[in-house]
Structure 1
Amino acid sequence: MNTIKTILCLVLVGVFTSCSQKENTSITIKNTLDVDKSFETVELSKDDLKVEDLTTVGIRDVKSGDLQVTQTVDNDGDGVVDQILFQPKVSANSESEFEVVTIKGEEKPSSIEYCFSRFVPERTDDYTWENDRVAFRVYGPTAQKMIEDNVPGGTLSSGVDPWLKKVDYPIINKWYKEYVDGTGSYHEDTGEGLDNFHVGISRGAGGIAVKVDTTYYFSKNYVKWRTITTGPLRTSFSLEYGDWKAGESTIKESKIISLDKGSNFSKFETTIIGSDNISAGLTLHEKDGVVNSNKENGWVSYWQPHADSELGTAIIALPSTFLDSETYNVDAKDLSNAYANLKVERNTVVYYSGFGWKESGQFKNNQEWENYLNDFSKKKQTPLIVKINN
């Protein structure tokens, strides 16, 4: 009997020890740059944390004791959460410690859904996305068909259209509602910003092209969309395009676009079949701005007068992907763009595209904008180091 009791006690000790170890999984996050980081998103999977269900996972700052704002993501749409996201604050050249805890839904810190995107059937078939700093939209097959059928109100473009917001709260639903019910227009600034950025058939701020000889070719509107996630830290979605021709080559294009809280740049993870290089472009509008590039930090930028303000747009990629840049200046309407020429590896290329509007108060001038580009690039080149202590 005593032997049985002893064995039972040992089993219980082992169980409790196992539970304790699982409950106390810790995460060490190291920032090796000499600048603070606060808007870099850390992605953790079930395998990383050795858990079966990420919906009950909380992440606590060991020093402050505060639960972090998190977001769970089902990347493949199968109904099972694949990742949990959070944005730790880590000072320059330092480490921060976090612990994984089990929480109930009501214990999760509340936060505004800053990062939002959706399909917009009430405005033809836009797909629009935003965070606390910027907003964008692209155009779908119905808008394309309207142009092809000479129906007013259509748009034929695979360019990316910036929406110049200057508030940190979400505006997409509000602006479209005012558009639909006639109580306002997002083409007029009533204090939140406006859409006065002309795209046409240009690349806007981040549309791609493939160059053959001296000509740039590009797709028409997207043909299929899927929302992946929205929430306080990230929105992401996928777009597919019909096959298109670049000279004699047939190009197959699809992409996952994501936008994280605190960033002026959307991430474009693009799948390309049919070309070893692509060119991500920025429209030159009236050609009265300044094109600059920095190969070391992998960016090309266009800072321009815009209405009664100023505006910067840019493409950023890792230097290993960034081949060079070109200012393509022609007489044809909307075909003049500044291009970042990027290398496609294993049918994939990743780049970031975004903008900074002087009226938003985020950037006073071109120098501040380019400082941000260099800072953004350095942070992408030197990401946070995440160590999980299971």
Structure 2
Amino acid sequence: MKIKRSYCAKFLTAAICWLAFSAFTGGADYPELNVTVKNTLDFDRSEVVTINTEKLSKLLKVASPDQIRVREVGKTSNLILQWIDHDNDGKPEELLFKPTVQANAIAKYVILVDGTTPLAESNITTYSRFVPERTDDYAWENDKVAFRTYGPDAQMRTEKKMPNGTLSSGIDLWLKRTDLPVINEWYKGYLTDPNYYHKDSGKGYDPYHVGASRGTGGTGVWEGDTLLVSKNFTSYKTIATGPLRTVFELDYAPYSHYGVKEKKRISLDLGSNFSKFEVFYTSSKKLPNYTMGITLHDKKGQENIWKDQGIFIHHETMDNTYLGEAIIVDPKIVTQAFANKSNIRDQSNLLVLTKPNKSAIFYAGFAWVKSGQVKDGNDWENFVKKQKQIINSPLQIVIK
């Protein structure tokens, strides 16, 4: 149904006219944007894509973000979408949705104004939050994986030899085998049973030890034969949680005689096994490198160091099941990579040294065989190689 402004002005009051325009969309007064999504790789893909709101100005001039919908051309159902407001000023800078595109093909979508059709919803989501009920963890997850790291209260408890302390800037892994959220459930269970999430009740568990190691994705500076690292994060900022992406920031106090100060912006998309780390760092003295790593635990695993590809993998067995971890980074910034095996507890890490340049971007993630996401080590290697292709060749978006 089309309702023209002249018709409203002539036959309806201003209030009724406003309601009419709010109730009916798709006419000449509501422009639509056509979106083409191109996949240049030889396998099917379904990934979160980002559109800057500047490209949506035609729609946002006549409608609010909560009236925007995204549909595949020729279909009537709405896709799940998410707005992200990075600076928390009430005006989102990005619109996210998750297209599906076949190998070496394109898919077409339309962005339109529709204030009547409900937004698509799902129980499958991304999530992150500060966790004061277990000192002060920060935890994040999606439908595939979960992670956590540690705050100043946990540090203080260790330094004062109090219970429940953790002194580490390493990244812990939670092994999920459900696509539903577990963070709130597992921490709630912790309140009555401190071992709650260390036991697999069917949704997964946390058998992964971090300690002073790098976990999977912790950072530092390699000097001589020592990895210099920060203590726990000092503050956090949750930027976004939602059905498609969670984003947050962690700040760290200066460490080492280099005075290294880090801010980490970490994001995790729905459907991805890899957290994206964007690290911004300063130092009081020139750094020899900026390093990221993966713990080698008992040193019984296997490492794949593919420096020319920017792929660094660790294979291990945990509680008699396979677990694969990996870091992916632009090979142009990698200067050296090696497995540092130490007799000191938690000091054995696969280390990736990069050229220091005030910031670094890398991806860190994992897959557990009981999740059904990989079958074995060979499967994980192929999985990581595919992820590297995805990073190098993002889905291409054209808006008209």
Question: Is TM (by shorter chain) over 0.5?
Answer: yes
Match of 2:34 in 1: 26
Q: Deviations over 1:21-71 (max 9, x none)?
A: 862211111111111110x22111220112344332211111434321101
Match of 1:300 in 2: 312
Q: Which amino acid aligns with 1:362?
A: Q
Match of 1:93 in 2: 104
Match of 1:326 in 2: 338
Q: Which amino acid aligns with 1:175?
A: W
Match of 1:175 in 2: 186
CA distance in 2, matches of 1:37, 1:278: 32
The secondary structure found in structure 1 opposite 2:197 is: coil
Counterpart contact for 1:49–1:388, Cα < 8 Å: no
Corresponding residue to 2:388 among 373, 377, 380: 377
Quick one: structure 1 residues 249 and 182, their matched pair in 2 at CA, closer, same or farther if it must change by over 3 Å? closer
Q: Deviations over 1:294-328 (max 9, x none)?
A: 23431101101111212111111123333332111
Equivalenced residue count is: 370
Give the TM-score, by structure 2 length: 0.88
Corresponding residue to 2:134 among 114, 118, 123: 123
CA distance in 1, matches of 2:122, 2:116: 13
Q: Which moved more, 1:144-153 or 1:63-72?
A: 63-72
CA distance in 2, matches of 1:101, 1:344: 44
CA distance in 2, matches of 1:155, 1:182: 18
Q: Which amino acid aligns with 2:50?
A: E
Corresponding residue to 1:198 among 209, 225, 240: 209
Counterpart contact for 1:279–1:341, Cα < 8 Å: yes
Match of 1:75 in 2: 86
Counterpart contact for 1:128–1:137, Cα < 8 Å: yes
The secondary structure found in structure 2 opposite 1:190 is: coil
The secondary structure found in structure 1 opposite 2:239 is: strand
Match of 2:279 in 1: 270
Match of 2:176 in 1: 165
Unaligned stretches of 5+ residues in structure 1: 6-17
CA distance in 2, matches of 1:339, 1:183: 32
Does residue 352 (structure 1) correspond to residue 352 (structure 2)? The answer is no
Alpha-carbon shift at residue 181 of structure 1 (Å): 2.9
CA distance in 1, matches of 2:254, 2:66: 39
Alpha-carbon shift at residue 113 of structure 1 (Å): 5.0
Q: Residues 126-275 of structure 1 correspond to what in structure 2 (within 5 A)?
A: 126-182=137-193, 185-245=196-256, 248-274=257-283, 275=287
The secondary structure found in structure 2 opposite 1:186 is: helix
Does residue 335 (structure 1) correspond to residue 342 (structure 2)? The answer is no
Quick one: structure 1 residues 63 and 341, their matched pair in 2 at CA, closer, same or farther if it must change by over 3 Å? farther
The secondary structure found in structure 1 opposite 2:196 is: coil
Give the TM-score, by structure 1 length: 0.90
Q: Which amino acid aligns with 2:348?
A: S
Quick one: structure 1 residues 350 and 175, their matched pair in 2 at CA, closer, same or farther if it must change by over 3 Å? same
Counterpart contact for 2:290–2:356, Cα < 8 Å: yes
The secondary structure found in structure 2 opposite 1:203 is: coil
Corresponding residue to 1:48 among 39, 55, 61: 55
Alpha-carbon shift at residue 251 of structure 1 (Å): 0.5
The secondary structure found in structure 2 opposite 1:199 is: coil
Q: Which moved more, 1:335-344 or 1:81-90?
A: 335-344
CA distance in 1, matches of 2:188, 2:281: 36
CA distance in 2, matches of 1:138, 1:202: 12
Alpha-carbon shift at residue 216 of structure 1 (Å): 1.2
CA distance in 2, matches of 1:160, 1:202: 9
Alpha-carbon shift at residue 342 of structure 1 (Å): 2.6
Counterpart contact for 2:32–2:113, Cα < 8 Å: no
Quick one: structure 1 residues 226 and 106, their matched pair in 2 at CA, closer, same or farther if it must change by over 3 Å? farther
Q: What is the root-mean-square deviation of aligned Cα atoms in Å?
A: 2.0
Q: Deviations over 1:334-372 (max 9, x none)?
A: 001001223344x21110111111121211110000000
Does residue 109 (structure 1) correspond to residue 120 (structure 2)? The answer is yes
Does residue 37 (structure 1) correspond to residue 48 (structure 2)? The answer is no
CA distance in 2, matches of 1:263, 1:151: 37
Unaligned stretches of 5+ residues in structure 2: 1-5, 7-25
Q: Which amino acid aligns with 1:250?
A: G
Counterpart contact for 1:272–1:344, Cα < 8 Å: no
Q: Residues 305-316 of structure 1 correspond to what in structure 2 (within 5 A)?
A: 305-316=317-328
Quick one: structure 1 residues 148 and 385, their matched pair in 2 at CA, closer, same or farther if it must change by over 3 Å? same
Alpha-carbon shift at residue 236 of structure 1 (Å): 1.1
Quick one: structure 1 residues 303 and 93, their matched pair in 2 at CA, closer, same or farther if it must change by over 3 Å? same
Alpha-carbon shift at residue 373 of structure 1 (Å): 0.5
Counterpart contact for 1:318–1:377, Cα < 8 Å: no
Alpha-carbon shift at residue 184 of structure 1 (Å): 6.8
CA distance in 1, matches of 2:146, 2:116: 30
